[in-house]
Structure 1
Amino acid sequence: MKLEHQIGKHVQHVLDLPDSKISPQDNLIEYGLHSLAIMRLVDIFEKEYEAKLSYIDFAMAPSIEDWVKIIDDTKESKTKKLIDFPTPYVNLSEMQYAHWVGRQGENVSSHLYIEFAGKYLNIEKLQQAYRQLLQCHPMLSVSIAQGQQSIQKLTETGIRINDLTKVDEIKVSEFLAQQRQNMTHQKLDIESGQVIDVRVTVLPNQHHVLHIDTDMSAIDPQSCFILIQHLSDLYSENEKDLLFMSNKSSVPYFEYIQAKDKQLEQQKKYDEKWWKSRLENISDIPALPYIAEGLRDQPNLFTREAFSFNASDTQVLVNIASEYNILVELICLTLFAETVALWSSENQFRLNLPFFSREKYGTCTDQEISHMVGDFSNMCLLDIHAKAGEKFSESLSRIKQSLEEVYLHSTYTGVEVLRDLSKYHQQLETAPIVFTSGLNYGEIISNQVQKHFGQPIWCISQGSKVDLDVQVALINEKLVINWDIRKNAFQQKVIPEMFKYYISRIQSFILDKEKIHSIPEYILPTPHTLLNEDELNLPFKGEHYSVIHGLDTCCPCWVIGYLGIQVSEENLYKFDPSDLINIHGQYWYKTTHQAYFNDQKDICVVSELNPQIKRNGYWLNPNDIAEKIAVHPAIQKVKLFPITKGEKNTLVALLVCALDESLSYTNLLSIYTACLNTQALQPEQSYIVSEDEIDQVNTENIEVLLAKKIPIESQKDISALEKVIYFMMCSVIGISTEQEDDINIDFFEYGGDSLLATHLIAVIQKYFKDSGLTIVDIFSQRTVCNIAHIIEENLPNTAHKIASVFLQVMEGKK
């Protein structure tokens, strides 16, 4: 009874229910229990009862009565300390967890890779400095697995040396290019404690390239530059302020994070309410000319654009910012927001703004905090509302105000806001456009580092669910702009054109500070070719056509806007002036037809032959999805139609195929899993139609046809395996299983999140061992039907037998 009472008190505290009477048998989900609360409670129980506990067990049995049994059983089986060396497992921070989940779900590691080129490097001295560095920073041997972290016993790890002193120039270039490619895209073995990789390529004539790669799940970008500085300090034997770190018996970073969480607990509750009250007002991701996930060639290939302003121009920008009492980073951010707005088909969107906080918490000293390595990163979602005809100063002021407001409520992290947003919209929400500023940290690479290691010649970062990461920083008194790009996430030429425009906007600001009071001039091409003109119920035909942006200018290539027709002066009287737009002295009438320029600057009108549907912020052409489905030999013809009902976009597939014993409804639905490698591409409803019907159907009569048909999804028999997966999914999410089994239940739409996805994997693997199911499958397949299909494929002889036994046990309990 004492343990039951203690657990009840902790539950009331964490769920903020001081006056609620919770019985031991109550389902805590009904009292607001969620994944983060489970993590917090398990952490408390581990410390208080000195027991190694699994939050999966607690998530699967969410009652005080069950939790008492779990803790009692664990305490009885405990015979020795959890981990003798050197630390027990502790939970990851929100950003660490996001990096870890992204690595599982997308097969991309969030990491930062840097190269330095120099001369006269003492390799032996560097090796010794590196060994000391590992001793000074416990986080350089942290193991991150199953959503938790611990410091492993330090194994002897040195710097890898590539000796190319006897190699000719061509082979040197080839090797360095391949090395850059490999390390730009590598995944360090963080489960085994590899979170940093340092290599030196020794070149002829005493030249060298130093390669440094750090994983952000353990070392944030700011910590990476601290590490590089510390390596330089140790190399130069200037370690008096650093080596004290190696004498610590604990892990300062772990202590710091735990103290921070405790100290900010009340503020975080307040910030959580603030963000949750604003979920409906958070804008979508920028509607840039993306290629949707699932349709990208080599989806994890990254590249970069870079530009460095000279020291003189940089100083001019600093002086302008000082004169107007603003920060240079605010100027750069606002100009970037305006650049994104021009290439976005929507004027309102959100940006992802990471930042790093090293404020003092707990007993850690200022010296310890400034030397500490770990994850101090956070991110906030910044809403941008671009307006036509707005002066730059007005845009600057609004963004500054919004920025200050979100920073005030940042103890509830952007990762948590995205999680709430996903539940609110019943779809997986991301923040793929990132703006990171390092300007308020001064020079990010010191003269001492460059003296010892050489000039920085390459820097690139990767991140899961990140398509564009913009960084602004100061190196050698020069403003440096880096764009790290998921290369095949955008239509051709989009990013180079955006980057060129962004740099030109900064340059124009440097040349004329009065630009702060002016309306931006969008100098863009105005093509006048119209494709498929005969297919449109144009109000009239003009001599020239264009695509009109919401900012009352012409759209760049691939940006979806509205078809505009130039109006001559003699025809102006025919129009209401409010229907006309003046662009560079010419009047344009904006029709209701959506259109875009392709990269040949031809106008493509969105029509039945060239349809578009917006999903998760991405524009999709259903014809592209139909092509992927049509690859399957069992399908003779396929057509996809986007159908809009209210704010919901539904994708409907019409299929011509013959059903027989070899092609059942079950097999037919699994074709989507095979052909479409992400749930975002999969149609919600599928119908079998005849060849005549598919040839005659169009957007006008599709509803009439569907009224006569029954979706395939509702005709499929539910297998024992699918019933078990349905039960497990509902149990992990915390929703009732009393309703009729729904094999199309989407894990994320019904309240699942990244943390619960790891729980679901653990539960499934417990019963269906060797099923091969990974968190990647949960993110990409998402539904009961799809997940069951993967298990069935990997365990063809045992999956259904296991499921049948599981159901018999469940039915016996009722």
Structure 2
Amino acid sequence: MRDEHRTFEIEAVRRTVARALHLEPGELQPDSDLFAFGLDSLTLIRLAGEWRREGVDVTFEDLIERPTLADWFALLDERAPTEFRPDSMPATTHLDAAAPYPLATMQHAYWTGRQDGQPLGGVGAHFYTEFDGSDLDPTRLRTALTALTHRHEMLRARFTDDATQYHAAPRDVAVDLVVHDLRAWAAEAVERRLAELRDSWSHHRMDVASGEVFRLGLTLLPAGRTRLHVDLDMMVGDAMSLRILLADLRHLYECPGLPLPAIDIGYGRYLAEHAAAGAQARTRARRWWTERLADLPGPPALPTVVDPLTPVHARDTALNHTRRLHHHLDPRAKTALFGRARRHGVGPAAALAAAFAEVIGAWSSHPKLLLNLPLFDREPLHPGVAHLVGDFSASIMLGVDTTQPVPFVDRARRVQEDMRAGVAHGAYGGVDVLRDLSRATGEPVLAPVVFTSAIGLGEVFDERVQALFGAPVWIVSQGPQVWLDAQVTELDHGLLLNWDVREAMFAPGVPDAAFAAYRDLVGALVADDRAWRAPVGQLAPARRSGRPV
């Protein structure tokens, strides 16, 4: 009976994992390295949560350390309960919904970094997007925005000087939809005004202390056209939260009488339960990172023209200006890249991170460099977490040594191995590691070069959102103490490769030349297996040409 039961469980796990990776079960063999099939941290979190809800005592760290089906079969079989338990989640934490509660780690970093006088501060961490559509009704949109603000408590968040947050009651929040009516303007005047609005919204630091955390604007244009402006401060929501907000806003605009799924947990309660459930993992991870502090390299020594520790204020508009560089891989190119990566035993996120590291290494005067990798850590503690808005992000530090010109596939495999180890110990996050490095060195240590992979999150803007609001024509993000934020997101069934660059930091021409090299390297990896088997060659005009201030 035990063998029959175990065989059934093995096939159930194979189907579960294949579904999570968007594969057919037959594609996964017992010894398959699941990272080569696109496994990422978000999928791991979801799988661990799903199995814990079935009563299996398994953690994210357990799964990432043994990433093959055979190992997972054995682990789950060993820890499966003798009787089915429908819920092994932590006991509910009861919190006063109106009481202040502490900031999450990344929230605290955003709060500190946005203050005037911080090194490369004076900037809020936020996402700004424009959608070009038609025939949006300002009255219906304002009504939907009001309902959205009532539904999501984080849109009513207030932040205090003692590093806490609380939520205002819906009746105490004034919802404001900014409407610009340009329908009677001449074409040239319209374009000038749209450019002014784009620059203003892209670089606006919201007043989060007073509750300015989510801004929605609508520009009415000639011939029934519209432009929707959406700005979300990362203090209250991560990239997945932006997706949730846009999906809910669409629903509330189109179907105001149809209830949305209930949200059975608040953000404060989630943070408390997540911290309690992960306390032991955090202790283990802290020990692991402490043992490796001395081996972590410094940030890339890029050709900068501003001291990275320069105190910056919001009024320093030149130093606060962000420019986006972008390149879209169409669905065919995305499929080709994923296929080649899999055949070489590398996940697509690791392959793109390695390509980014090669390019940054080429422009750095030091071949060893520290990269900042955000993670998405939305653990399904309760069913309502899937609908919850909040900052569920974390980060890890990734050291990369580009000294030796090795075949690209070797670089990518090493990056993948180090990413895997870092994520396995991500309970002690990158912000904490940087604080430890600063204490150890006696001076501030920053990790201002960021690589964010949202592969596995799905389309950043789903088809129904675009059908109502229009196509996204402008996407940009800013963050304090960040020079360069490289992002990979899924869009229109392809991949969008972005660099958000704090342009005044760099010598003229450097960001454009480096991004062109990145785009060309990714293109070669899409097109030709030989690019995987050979070193990348010279990328910068002169190898190790960085001249940091």
**TM-score past 0.5 threshold:** yes
Quickly say closer, same or farther: Cα 1:400–1:451, change in 2 above 3 A: same
CA shift for structure 1 position 311: 2.4
Contact 2:327 2:496 in 1 (8 A): yes
Aligned to 1:807: none
- How many angstroms does 1:173 deviate by? 0.7
1:403 and 2:419 correspond:
yes
| Structure 2 residue 447 is matched with structure 1 residue 427 | no
Distance 1:327 1:240, change over 3 A: farther
Q: Does 1:114 align with 2:129?
A: yes
Q: Match of 2:429?
A: 413
Partner in structure 2 of residue 275 of structure 1: 289
Q: Secondary structure at the match of 1:181?
A: helix
Alpha-carbon separation, structure 2, partners of 1:206 and 1:437: 36
TM superposition shift of 1:295: 9.9
Residues 85 and 152, structure 1, Cα contact 8 Å, conserved in 2: no
CA contact (8 A) 1:468 1:485 kept: yes
The answer as to 2:504 corresponding to 1:504 is: no
TM-score by length of 1: 0.53
The Cα shift of 1:322 comes to 3.3
1:232 corresponds in structure 2 to 250
CA distance in 2, matches of 1:229, 1:386: 42
User: How far off is 1:243 after superposition?
Assistant: 5.1
**Is residue 291 of structure 1 aligned with residue 311 of structure 2?**
no
Structure 1 residue 523 displacement after superposition:
5.7
Task: Specify the alignment match of 1:472 in structure 2.
Answer: 488
Cα contact 2:378–2:385 (8 A) shared by 1 = yes
**Structure 1 partner of 2:505:** 489
Secondary structure, counterpart of 2:136 in structure 1:
coil
Q: Which residue of 1 aligns with 2:378?
A: 358
Aligned to 1:98: 109
Q: Map 1:607-756 onto structure 2 (within 5 A).
A: 619-620=548-549
The residue type paired with residue 112 of structure 2 is V
> How does 1:744-783 map onto structure 2 within 5 Å?
none
The 1-side partners of 2:524 and 2:331 are apart by 16
TM-superposed CA distance for 1:85, in Å, is 9.4
Please give the alpha-carbon distance, in whole angstroms, between the structure 1 residues aligned to 2:221 and 2:285.
Answer: 54
Q: Residue 198 of structure 2 aligns with which residue?
A: 180
- C-alpha distance in 2, partners of 1:116/1:465? 28
Report the aligned-residue RMSD: 1.9
* Aligned with residue 543 of structure 2, among 546, 555, 559: 555
CA positional deviation for 1:239: 7.6
Partner of 1:191: 209
Q: Distance in 2 between matches of 1:151 and 1:469?
A: 30
Q: Which amino acid aligns with 2:289?
A: W
Residues 85 and 252 (structure 1), Cα distance of their counterparts in 2 relative to 1, 3 Å cut: closer
For 1:205 and 1:344, locate their aligned partners in 2 and report how far apart those are by CA, in whole Å.
50
Amino acid aligned to 2:167: I
1:373 aligns with 2:389: yes
Alignment check: 8 A CA contact 2:453 2:487 kept:
yes
* In 1, Cα distance between equivalents of 2:167 and 2:135: 35
Structure 1 unmatched runs, 5+: 1-83, 526-553, 561-618, 621-814
Determine if contact 1:292/1:489 at 8 Å carries over to the other structure.
yes
Q: Does the aligned pair in 2 maintain the 1:353–1:382 contact within 8 Å?
A: yes
8 Å CA contact retained: 1:350, 1:381: yes
CA distance, structure 1, for counterparts of residue 535 and residue 543 of structure 2: 17
SS of 2:349's partner is helix
Identity among equivalent positions (%) equals 29
Q: Which residue identity lines up with residue 488 of structure 2 in the other structure?
A: V
Shift of 1:233: 2.0
**In structure 1, what is the Cα distance between the partners aligned to 2:539 and 2:364?**
16
For residues 591-639 of structure 1, the C-alpha deviation after alignment (integer angstroms, 9 at most, x for no partner) is: xxxxxxxxxxxxxxxxxxxxxxxxxxxx33xxxxxxxxxxxxxxxxxxx
Residue in 1 aligned with 2:408?
A: 392
Structure scoring higher RCO (CA < 8 A, sep ≥ 6) equals: 2
Given that 1:311 and 1:478 are in contact with CA atoms closer than 8 Å, whether structure 2 keeps it comes out as: yes
Q: Which residue of 312, 325, 328 corresponds with 2:348?
A: 328
What SS class does the counterpart of residue 442 from structure 1 fall into? Answer: coil
SS of match in other structure, 1:306: strand
**Is 1:158 the equivalent of 2:158?**
no
Corresponding residue for 2:273? 259
Partner Cα distance (1:244, 1:359) in 2: 18
* Contact 1:242 1:371 survives alignment (8 Å): no
Q: Contact 2:484 / 2:499 at 8 angstroms: preserved in 1? A: yes
Structure 1 residue 240, shift from structure 2 partner = 5.0
Question: Could you tell me which residue of structure 2 aligns to residue 222 of structure 1?
Answer: 240
8 Å contact kept, 1:86–1:153 = no
Contact 1:136 1:242 in 2 (8 A): no
After superposing the two structures, state which structure 1 stretch, 172-181 or 313-322, moved more.
313-322
Measure the CA separation in 2 of the matches of 1:138 and 1:309. 37
- The amino acid of 2:304's aligned partner reads Y
**Partner letter of residue 306 of structure 1?**
H
Q: CA deviation at 1:499?
A: 0.3
Q: Structure 1: how far apart are the matches of 2:546 and 2:327?
A: 25
Contact kept? 1:90, 1:148, Cα under 8 Å:
yes
2:40 match: none
Q: How does 1:137-148 map to 2 (within 5 A)?
A: 137-146=152-161, 147-148=163-164
Amino acid at match of 1:174: R
Q: What residue in structure 1 maps to residue 27 of structure 2?
A: none
Deviation at 1:124, TM superposition (A): 2.3
Cα gap change, 1:202 to 1:85, in 2 (>3 Å) = farther
2: CA distance, partners of 1:402 / 1:355? 14
| 1:339 counterpart (359, 362, 365) | 359
Deviations 1:26-83 (A, max 9, x none): xxxxxxxxxxxxxxxxxxxxxxxxxxxxxxxxxxxxxxxxxxxxxxxxxxxxxxxxxx
Within 5 Å, give how 1:35-114 maps onto structure 2.
87-104=98-115, 105=118, 106-114=121-129
Tell me by how many angstroms 1:238 deviates: 7.5
> What residue number does 1:349 align with?
369
Deviation readout 1:639-682 (Å, 9 max, x if unpaired): xxxxxxxxxxxxxxxxxxxxxxxxxxxxxxxxxxxxxxxxxxxx
1:320–1:214: structure 2 CA closer, same or farther, 3 Å change rule? same
Identify if the C-alpha distance between structure 1 residues 379 and 241 changes in structure 2 by more than 3 Å, giving closer, same or farther: farther
Q: How far off its partner does 1:256 sit?
A: 0.7
Offset at residue 457 of structure 1 (A)? 0.6
Is 1:310–2:330 an aligned residue pair?
A: yes
Question: Does structure 2 retain, via aligned residues, the 8 Å contact 1:95–1:377?
Answer: yes
Check 1:206–1:401 CA distance in 2 against 1; reply closer, same or farther (3 A cut). Answer: same
Question: Taking structure 1 as reference, are residues 483 and 383 closer, same or farther at Cα in structure 2, changes over 3 Å only?
Answer: same
Structure 1 residues 163 and 85: CA distance shift in structure 2, 3 A: farther
Q: Residue 219 of structure 2: SS of its match in structure 1?
A: strand
Looking at structure 2, the residues matched to 222 and 460 of structure 1 have their Cα atoms a distance apart, in angstroms, of 15
* Contact 1:432/1:466, CA 8 A, preserved across alignment: yes
What's the offset of the Cα at 1:236? 2.2
- Give CA-to-partner distance per residue, 1:337-375, whole Å, 9 cap, x none: 0001100111111100001111133xx22xx11110001
Q: Are residues 295 and 191 of structure 1, via their aligned partners in 2, closer, same or farther at CA, if it must alter by over 3 Å?
A: closer
SS of equivalent residue, structure 1 residue 244: coil
**1:131 corresponding residue in structure 2:** 146
Question: In the superposition, relative to structure 1, how do residues 136 and 262 fare at CA in structure 2: closer, same or farther (>3 Å)?
Answer: same
Could you tell me which residue of structure 1 aligns to residue 534 of structure 2?
Answer: 518
Mapped partners of 2:145, 2:467: distance in 1? 17
Gaps of 5+ in 2: 1-94
- 2:371 touches 2:451 (CA, 8 Å); kept in 1? yes
Q: Return the alpha-carbon distance in structure 2 between the equivalents of residues 241 and 444 of structure 1.
A: 24
Q: Tell me if the contact between 1:136 and 1:243 (Cα under 8 Å) persists in the aligned partners.
A: no
Q: 1:260 to 1:412 in 2, by over 3 A?
A: same
CA displacement 1:514-549 (0-9 Å, x = unmatched): 321112122665xxxxxxxxxxxxxxxxxxxxxxxx
- Residues 430 and 169 from structure 1, CA distance in 2 versus in 1: closer, same or farther, beyond 3 angstroms? same
For residues 537 and 284 of structure 2, what CA distance do their matches in structure 1 show? Answer: 42
Give distance in 2, aligned partners of 1:512 and 1:341.
22
Displacement of 1:156: 2.9
Distance in 2 (alpha carbons) for counterparts of 1:240 and 1:408: 41
SS at match of 1:410: coil
Q: Are the equivalent residues in 2 in contact too, given 1:85–1:153 (CA < 8 A)?
A: no
Retained in 2: the 8 A contact 1:434–1:466?
yes
CA apart distance, 1:153: 2.5
SS at match of 1:439: coil
